[in-house]
Structure 1
Amino acid sequence: ILIDEYDSPLQHSWHTPEHEVCTEMYRNVFAVLKNADQYEKFVFITGITKFTQVSLFSALNNLSNLSFLPEYATVCGITEDEIIENFTPEINVLAQRNNWSFDEAHQKLKEYYDGYHFCRRNMTDIYNPFSLVRALYDSYISNYWVSSGATSLLNKFVQNIEIRLEEFDNSYIDSDTLESSDVSSGVDELFLFQSGYLTIKKADEEGYYLGFPNEEVKRALSKIVIPTLTMKSQANVITAQSHSQS
């Protein structure tokens, strides 16, 4: 049984009267899964954010969270070895159409779409598969992140992002919060990590240092999200930036 993006309805109903109705529906479904355990060989549930504090999984409490296990750290993306092994022809086309060498095209892809890490015990670099595949299909380096829909939820879960933007690129969060807390706890860095805007840069015994994974995410935040959240037009933001630079 595969339940993909279980959290999407919960995200969009957050802080609305429909949220509890949605949560109760999930509880009923999960109760059925729990009661039918003897007939199930494998149940896999994916999502970006966690909603454990609303007792969503109280009816299905025999799940294992794979998110921070080293053997699964590369399961949701594309590694450096995989891109060379599987996408060399596409990288050659990208290079030719942009008058780059193969190494230059590869470096561009790395700067824009690589840099994710999901486990302190396995810090293998991971490319964003959605953006990487789109860039190779189009033979064009662009910001595909905004097409993923993640930006529309930022103003629900992150406060004053336009003011705190620079703080997030070297932020510290303790292990318990990152690994176990619910997105509804109100920790901005937690939502930004779970939704892909921040990634693990390094870790110590107590927690994690987070930062922006790549150029695509930085540009998505600075050029797309901020004008939306501050209710300014793109032209006004560019004008303000020009004045500040002058």
Structure 2
Amino acid sequence: MENLLNLPIGIQSFSELRTRNMLYVDKTQPIHRLINTGKYYFLSRPRRFGKSLTLSTLRAIFEGKRELFKGLWIEDQWDWCQIHPVIHLSFSSIGYRELGLEQAIRQELMSQGKYFGVTYSQQVSIAVMFEELIQQLAQRDGKVVVLIDEYDKPLIDYLDDIPLARANQQVMKTFYSVIKDCDPYLQFLLITGVSKFSKVSIFSDLNHLFDLTFAREAVALTGYTQTELEHYFSPYMQEVGENLGLERPVLLEKMREWYNGYSWDGRTRVYNPFSILNFFRAGDFRNFWFETGTPTFLLKLLREQNLYKLDSLTVHERTFSSYDIEYLQAIPILFQAGYLTIKAKQEFGLYTLDYPNSEVRESLRGKVSRRPTPESVGRH
């Protein structure tokens, strides 16, 4: 079909998305609500679920780029004269594998300082550099917005090398330790990641960091609801339905079975954005999200803990906080990484976990069903 907006597969920049005639599912209303109801936030969501785009959207709002929001909900709901300097850090792109985490952060802070015209004191730690960057910006340009994406990447990448993960954990704890004392200089802060493990120790000084992971106002902040899917993707459905020979009701039901089902409250369910965008681009039902990367350490962990059946698991809410790099437990990692989701909330703090959809179920079953031999089990 002609005149369809381009599908933003892999696009994490709100500015690029809006200036290149790409489809944007309008999330500015829940984003606006976050800005107006709190100051310090943490959000955990699986990979490729819209976290980076959310931060990029927040950046554009706080930088006052009204032209990018034409036609969106927030356009006439925000004071666009309210502009703040934005420190936007993404731990997936700072080169910690090559440089080491501390040196990579130092290099990124130098780059940020150069961009903002900030000069640091000589021979100071990364924590002091971060503090000086925030303070100098606030004193010159007004209160600062801090957006940190994929905070846990330097941990997740080394879960098969615990000593290095532990060292990175300490670097991160030191780095974040200055945020609380910078409160007078901060307007807003949001930290995102895949997992919550180590959250308590890394952010031990940030006891006022509100966790959005299960919060009502964030259940549909990322991902696509059924209503959003049917509204924004209706023109694409017509083309794909014709090519596949499926009537709209049948197509919708099959899409729901394949890609829907993620939930953080047991009621609101959303589609994986990456899978949906790729589905409409490919015009066929395929395994998109799962094949983008399942860490081998996770498959090994499932086998070590003898977890081969993951359907309808009953867990206590304490399970969601069982994140310790020294004693990894598969279930909380599977949940945070998106391989399991909340199907229902029971009484007495109990939850039912299950695969979110067919895409994940069939793929993960195929990976873990290859039971190791008795000899290999003995070697664990």
The aligned length equals: 225
Of the candidates 158, 181, 186, which is equivalent to residue 322 of structure 2?
A: 181
Q: Deviations over 1:183-212 (max 9, x none)?
A: 545432211111111111112122101111
Q: Contact between 1:73 and 1:124, CA under 8 Å: does it hold in 2?
A: yes
1:237 counterpart residue number = none
Q: Distance in 1 between matches of 2:361 and 2:286?
A: 12
Q: Distance in 1 between matches of 2:160 and 2:294?
A: 17
Q: Which structure: larger Rg?
A: 2
Of the candidates 167, 171, 181, which is equivalent to residue 313 of structure 2?
A: 171
Of the candidates 254, 258, 269, which is equivalent to residue 125 of structure 1?
A: 269
Q: Distance in 1 between matches of 2:366 and 2:153?
A: 24
Shift of 1:113: 0.4
Q: Distance in 1 between matches of 2:280 and 2:304?
A: 35
2:239 counterpart residue number = 93
Question: SS state of the match for residue 41, structure 1?
Answer: strand
Of the candidates 186, 192, 200, which is equivalent to residue 40 of structure 1?
A: 186
Question: SS state of the match for residue 351, structure 2?
Answer: strand
Q: Contact between 1:198 and 1:212, CA under 8 Å: does it hold in 2?
A: yes
Say if 1:165 and 1:57 are closer, same or farther in 2 by CA, change over 3 A. same
Question: SS state of the match for residue 156, structure 2?
Answer: helix
Shift of 1:224: 4.1
Of the candidates 139, 155, 171, which is equivalent to residue 299 of structure 2?
A: 155
Q: Contact between 2:198 and 2:323, CA under 8 Å: does it hold in 1?
A: yes
1:44-59 equivalences under 5 Å are 44-52=190-198, 55-59=201-205
Letter in structure 1 aligned against 2:147: L
Q: Contact between 2:160 and 2:297, CA under 8 Å: does it hold in 1?
A: no
TM-score when normalising by structure 2:
0.55
Shift of 1:225: 5.1
1:222 counterpart residue number = 365
> Does the alignment pair 1:8 with 2:153?
yes
Q: Distance in 2 between matches of 1:159 and 1:183?
A: 19
Q: Distance in 2 between matches of 1:111 and 1:218?
A: 11
Q: Distance in 2 between matches of 1:56 and 1:33?
A: 12
Give 1 or 2: higher helix fraction.
Answer: 1
Q: Contact between 2:290 and 2:359, CA under 8 Å: does it hold in 1?
A: no
> Does the alignment pair 1:81 with 2:227?
yes
Shift of 1:61: 2.8
2:343 counterpart residue number = 201
Say if 1:156 and 1:217 are closer, same or farther in 2 by CA, change over 3 A. same
Question: SS state of the match for residue 177, structure 2?
Answer: helix
Of the candidates 324, 330, 353, which is equivalent to residue 210 of structure 1?
A: 353
Gaps of 5+ in 1: 232-246
Q: Distance in 2 between matches of 1:159 and 1:226?
A: 9
TM-score when normalising by structure 1:
0.82
Gaps of 5+ in 2: 1-145, 374-380
Question: SS state of the match for residue 127, structure 1?
Answer: coil
Say if 1:171 and 1:183 are closer, same or farther in 2 by CA, change over 3 A. farther
Shift of 1:230: 4.9
Say if 1:54 and 1:82 are closer, same or farther in 2 by CA, change over 3 A. closer
Letter in structure 1 aligned against 2:277: V
Say if 1:28 and 1:75 are closer, same or farther in 2 by CA, change over 3 A. same
> Does the alignment pair 1:143 with 2:287?
yes
Shift of 1:45: 1.0
> Does the alignment pair 1:71 with 2:71?
no
1:243 counterpart residue number = none
Q: Distance in 1 between matches of 2:324 and 2:257?
A: 28
Q: Contact between 1:157 and 1:191, CA under 8 Å: does it hold in 2?
A: no
Say if 1:183 and 1:84 are closer, same or farther in 2 by CA, change over 3 A. farther
Letter in structure 2 aligned against 1:216: E
Shift of 1:54: 7.0
